[in-house]
Amino acid sequence: MAAGLLATPAAAASGSTTQAGKTASSSSATPRPAVSVSKTKASPSHSDECPTRVTFSSRIKVKAYGGKTTVAYRWLRGNGSKSAVKTVVLKGKGVKYVTAKESSTFKGGDLKGWQALQVLAPRKVTSAKGYFKVSCGDEGDDDKYVVNTHTVGAQAWVDERNCEATLIGRITASGTRWVRYQWVVNGRVVDRDAVRVYGSRKVYHVIRPHESLRGWAVLQILSPGDASSNRAYFKIWCRDSSPKVSASVNAPSNYEGDCPVTRTFTGTISASHGRGEVKYRWIRDGVAGGWQSVYFDGRGYGHQSRSVSDSWTASASGTSRRSIEIYGGPTSGTVEGKVTCKAAPPASKAWIQAGTSVKQVEAGCPAGSVTGTGSIYATGPIKVTVTWSLNGSVVKSEDLEFTSEGTKSVSFTSASDGLKAGNARLGIVGGGSTTLDYEAVCVKATDKSAEAKDA
């Protein structure tokens, strides 16, 4: 786990012994190629003429991820022998095929056997067996080949460390003979084969259950004759010590209100134990994002978790889904967030109410003073700037802030020329205005003399 907590996706898919969520190296981000191999075909599978040439063929399928991929393979034979290892180099990425063939010539005798193709790289996988039969021996000599049914035996050996059991059986026959047999484990046939026996020969079968298993095994002779060994009992103990990594996602609560709005999905990546890097990615509405990583330091030697998050900005009503995929491991459940956008309320407005008044009074003629009062009404929250102008010149400016619907009073007082009439204007910047006239309140000296003469 020093290099990583999980296997690559290809590694998790190959071989029944690899579990999702196991450790894998993070030294390379390129997955290992996936490999499969077709069942071996023997052609002809049965011949009554000698000499006869039997050709074995199988096709290897490789899903490569780029660069050069070396495919190594060999042939396994029913008599226990193996061919030399052959290699083929594939270039580029994508699905590629390699056809492997091997031929054998049989000059005489009665033979039964099989061959299988074993791929060693880039992954180890073995094809299903291809069986063949050659029957061109002398007639009437079957009686001198007899399988000793009293000396068929089997024994089981258990290797708990590797979570497997190796079954070892011995077949004894008088003379030389092809013998067909099968292994039965807990009442189920798990392997069937044919071997050429020279007096005595051991046969093997390996049980890899991937979990603890107990039971029995029997070696049965199918032909010639019919015999079975005694039961060999076994108990396999499997302990999986690899870290278990999982992910979970929580959706934000449903939202109803103003838009746009940002909502956040939260995730938790957990590891049962160990230390190393875990790669993950968010699946957003079915679309996979880029790989990210979290690191587990292994402190505490127990369960650890890391929190991650992913945001969603909604400009309109809708839903969004999220899940987390672990690199080479499991994918969390999918959760959904929902946003309902409300229509924005109408913008608040403000205007000047009726009842604005302006008046000029004496202030020691010829000086005067002009006073004005008014009211501003707003339909809702709004901020406005109000100005008072006297004969075209602004004499007062103030900001009014409304937090709700209502009315605010405004006023001003300004020195003036009492000998003159004029006007005052109340206005809202960017809005309406009202203008009112006022009269002179002082009389000129010449005017007073004229009044005296008239009197």
Tens of pLDDT along 182-210?
999 999 999 999 988 887 888 888 888 77
pLDDT digits (tens, 9 = 90+) for 325-378: 999 999 999 999 999 998 877 889 999 999 999 999 998 899 999 999 999 999
pLDDT digits (tens, 9 = 90+) for 15-63: 333 333 333 333 345 788 999 999 999 998 888 777 788 899 999 999 9
> What does the pLDDT read at residue 452?
53
Which one is predicted more confidently, 101 or 28?
101
Least confident residue range of 44-58, 98-112, 405-419: 98-112
> What does the pLDDT read at residue 120?
94
Could you tell me which residues come within 8 angstroms of residue 195 by beta carbon, excluding any fewer than 6 positions away?
A: 78, 79, 80, 171, 178, 179, 181, 201, 203
Which one is predicted more confidently, 174 or 279?
279
- How far apart, in whole angstroms, are the C-alpha atoms of residue 217 and residue 167? 8
Interior CA angle at 35 toward 34 and 36, to 5°? 135
Which one is predicted more confidently, 157 or 25?
157
**Are residues 187 and 140 in contact, defined by beta-carbon separation less than 8 angstroms?**
no
Least confident residue range of 159-168, 240-249, 327-336, 394-403: 159-168
> What does the pLDDT read at residue 157?
55
Buried b or exposed e, range 92-122, using 16+ CB within 10 angstroms: eeeebebebebebebeeebbbbbbbbbbbeb
Nearest to 118 by CA among 94, 83, 148, 152: 83
Give the pLDDT band (50/70/90) at residue 409.
very high
* DSSP H or E run through 454: helix 445-454
> What does the pLDDT read at residue 301?
55
User: 10 pLDDT exceeds 60?
Assistant: no
> What does the pLDDT read at residue 198?
80
**Are residues 14 and 35 in contact, defined by beta-carbon separation less than 8 angstroms?**
yes
Interior CA angle at 48 toward 43 and 49, to 5°? 90
pLDDT digits (tens, 9 = 90+) for 290-331: 999 999 887 655 688 999 999 999 999 999 999 999 999 999
> What does the pLDDT read at residue 67?
85
> What does the pLDDT read at residue 431?
86
Backbone angles phi, psi at 43, to 5 degrees: -135, 115
- How far apart, in whole angstroms, are the C-alpha atoms of residue 6 and residue 296? 12
CA 174, chain centre distance (Å): 62
> What does the pLDDT read at residue 147?
40
- How far apart, in whole angstroms, are the C-alpha atoms of residue 71 and residue 58? 14
* DSSP H or E run through 11: helix 9-13
**% the chain with pLDDT above 70:** 82
Which one is predicted more confidently, 358 or 93?
358
Mean pLDDT, range 70-74, rounded to an integer: 94
User: 402 pLDDT exceeds 90?
Assistant: yes
Interior CA angle at 106 toward 103 and 111, to 5°? 110
User: 148 pLDDT exceeds 50?
Assistant: no
In sequence order, the β-bridge partners of residue 165 are: 158, 207
HSE-up of 170 (CA within 13 Å, CB side)?
A: 8
- How far apart, in whole angstroms, are the C-alpha atoms of residue 455 and residue 445? 16
Give the pLDDT band (50/70/90) at residue 13.
very low
| Phi and psi based region of residue 160 (left: phi greater than 0; alpha: psi -120 to 50; beta: remaining) | alpha
Q: Are strands 164-185 and 188-207 parallel, antiparallel or unpaired?
A: antiparallel
- How far apart, in whole angstroms, are the C-alpha atoms of residue 55 and residue 358? 117
- How far apart, in whole angstroms, are the C-alpha atoms of residue 325 and residue 331? 4
**Are residues 337 and 319 in contact, defined by beta-carbon separation less than 8 angstroms?**
yes
Give the pLDDT band (50/70/90) at residue 386.
very high
Give the pLDDT band (50/70/90) at residue 241.
low
Could you tell me which residues come within 8 angstroms of residue 141 by beta carbon, excluding any fewer than 6 positions away?
A: none
Give the pLDDT band (50/70/90) at residue 230.
confident
